[in-house]
Amino acid sequence: MVKEAKYRLIKLLDKVEIRLYENLIIAQIDGYGDEGFDLLLNYISGNNTTKANLEMTSPVLSEKDSITFVMPEEYTLENTPKPNDERIKIHKIPERYVAALKFSGRLTTSNFTKKSKQLLKELQTSNIKTKGNIFSMRYSGPFTPWFLRRNEVATEIDFK
């Protein structure tokens, strides 16, 4: 079973969850879109300076041409193995509020657009302001049947 990044549910709108994520350590590659997945998978499978196999966690985050793996919670910026591939960068995402809308099925451009509009409409109705771009969060492995896949569209929000 793949571990998930921890968050605290703060509020439920109609279908949108307002969540508080604590600091996250991430491995990110820009400019490759979904093709960066294999590069990140190689990194957590031992293509790093300590040859460590890192546990896969979910969700996998995607935004425009970037793809991101969340590191297991025991890792910090100081103890996360350095990637051998210089295209992979290790970052810390500080604690933040995120609005997320869950859906099942394939994450297609059409689904992303449709669900993004739904997310923004609910936030606008609740007078909640966004603080960045919408990104996708994928929880299911590539061999999960399409009708069982769990996906989300999400955005950082200004929430107090």
CA–CA gap between residue 142 and residue 145 (Å, rounded): 8
CA–CA gap between residue 73 and residue 1 (Å, rounded): 15
CB burial of residue 51 (10 Å; 0-12, 13-18, 19+): exposed
CA–CA gap between residue 62 and residue 44 (Å, rounded): 17
pLDDT of residue 108: 92
pLDDT of residue 92: 97
pLDDT of residue 112: 96
**Per-residue tens of pLDDT for the chain, all 160 residues:** 678 999 999 999 999 999 999 999 999 999 998 899 999 999 999 999 999 999 999 999 999 999 999 999 999 999 999 999 999 999 999 999 999 999 999 999 999 999 999 999 999 999 999 999 999 999 998 889 999 999 999 999 998 7
pLDDT of residue 1: 65
Domain residue limits, the chain = 3-20+95-158, 24-93
CA–CA gap between residue 98 and residue 100 (Å, rounded): 6
Q: Which fold has domain 24-93?
A: Multidrug-efflux Transporter 1 Regulator Bmrr; Chain A (3.20.80)
Residue of 60, 3, 4, 63 lying closest to 27 (CA atoms): 60
Q: pTM of the full predicted structure?
A: 0.93
CA–CA gap between residue 93 and residue 117 (Å, rounded): 25
CA–CA gap between residue 24 and residue 96 (Å, rounded): 10
pLDDT of residue 2: 79
Give me the half-sphere count of Cα atoms (radius 13 Å) on the Cβ side of residue 15.
14
